């Protein structure tokens, strides 16, 4: 069904606050998928290997499909490994990936190439050399996984695990919000939700860097985000059917209130952290003075 064009310069344009134009700042912090062409191209060799093995008899077909399966699994693990490392590099406090996916992907690439080489040239030495070369080249191209956690010195691992659970729940709510507003097919709303997403991410990073802030922020990352998600789902249901501008205005105002609330909470946590540092410094100064150390 045809739809009437609407926008800033349309005859029925409104000067209301919800017609605020999309600014580049709405997309500040936008991320590029770390999975690029270099990793996607690794899905081509298993397809070629499987296709060229169709006329090689039962033994050749079996070896070809086995090698293709191993190579395909390695390419899939590499994609996950690249995303895990990107998330690790983004955070100042992060635990190393529990599964070294990139290293496993390199090993699987070596095994897959060795199987393909054995199919063409039966033996031990040649397939082993081809497989070892493929594994070394894979590691050289994509590197290895982070093997050590960063920023975890002096942090209670039990408390960090509690933070991780809350953060995972908060990110699930944000993802559900993003998926819901896409059904409304409104770029202004999508940009507004993206900006709110960035504000919540700042609070999440603050809590991750100091798990002691979890108690103060738990309500924001749990109850408030759950309510925001439910509101986004209801708005998308209404707006996708009726294009109700009143519902859109109310939802945009809700996002504004939530964004201000999350921003104020993040600033308060940062100020509290600075106050804790000041107390630690004063305590250390007092101890040094009692030990007879003169401070300028």
pLDDT tens digits, one per residue of 156-205: 566 777 777 888 888 899 999 999 898 888 888 888 899 898 888 888 88
**Residue whose C-alpha is closest to residue 186's, from 12, 2, 19:** 19
| Coil, strand or helix at 150 | strand
Q: How far apart are CA 105 and CA 71, in angstroms?
A: 8
Q: How far apart are CA 86 and CA 205, in angstroms?
A: 15
Structure confidence at residue 1 (pLDDT): 43
CB 213, CB 207: distance < 8 Å: yes
> What are the angstrom distances between the C-alpha of 26 and each of 173, 177, 188, 235?
19, 16, 10, 20
Q: Which residues of the chain have pLDDT under 70?
A: 1-33, 93, 151-158, 272-296
Structure confidence at residue 283 (pLDDT): 58
CB 166, CB 218: distance < 8 Å: yes
Q: How far apart are CA 172 and CA 276, in angstroms?
A: 31
**Residue whose C-alpha is closest to residue 146's, from 60, 84, 80:** 84
Structure confidence at residue 67 (pLDDT): 93
Range 59-83 burial, b when 16+ CB lie within 10 A, else e: eeeebbbbbbbbbbbbbbbbbbbbe
pLDDT tens by residue, 236-258: 888 888 888 888 899 999 998 98
- End-to-end CA gap in the chain: 78
């Amino acid at each position: 069904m045809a739809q009437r064009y609407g926008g800033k310069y349309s005859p029925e344009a409104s000067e209301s606050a919800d017609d605020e134009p999309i600014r580049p700042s709405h997309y500040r912090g936008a991320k590029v998928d770390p999975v690029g062409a270099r990793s996607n191209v690794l899905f081509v060799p298993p397809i070629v290997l499987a296709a060229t093995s169709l006329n090689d008899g039962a033994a050749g077909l079996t070896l070809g499909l086995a090698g293709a399966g191993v190579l395909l699994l390695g390419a899939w693990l590499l994609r996950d490994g690249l995303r895990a490392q990107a998330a690790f590099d983004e955070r100042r406090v992060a635990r190393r990936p529990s599964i070294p996916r990139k290293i496993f992907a390199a090993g699987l690439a070596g095994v897959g190439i060795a199987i393909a080489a054995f199919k063409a040239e039966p033996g031990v030495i040649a397939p082993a050399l081809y497989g070892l070369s493929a594994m070394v080249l894979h590691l050289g191209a994509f590197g290895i996984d982070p093997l050590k956690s960063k920023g975890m010195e002096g942090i209670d691992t039990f408390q960090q695990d509690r933070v991780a659970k809350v953060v995972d729940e908060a990110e699930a709510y944000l993802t559900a919000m993003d998926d819901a507003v896409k059904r409304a097919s409104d770029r202004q709303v999508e940009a507004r939700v993206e900006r709110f997403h960035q504000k919540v991410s700042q609070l999440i990073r603050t809590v991750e860097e100091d798990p002691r802030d979890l108690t103060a922020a738990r309500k924001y990352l749990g109850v408030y985000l759950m309510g925001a998600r439910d509101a986004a789902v209801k708005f998308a249901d209404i707006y996708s059917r009726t294009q109700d501008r009143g519902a859109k205005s109310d939802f945009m105002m809700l996002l504004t209130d939530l964004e201000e609330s999350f921003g104020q909470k993040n600033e308060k946590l940062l100020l509290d952290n600075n106050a804790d540092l000041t107390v630690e410094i004063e305590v250390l100064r007092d101890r040094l003075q009692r030990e007879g150390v003169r401070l300028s």
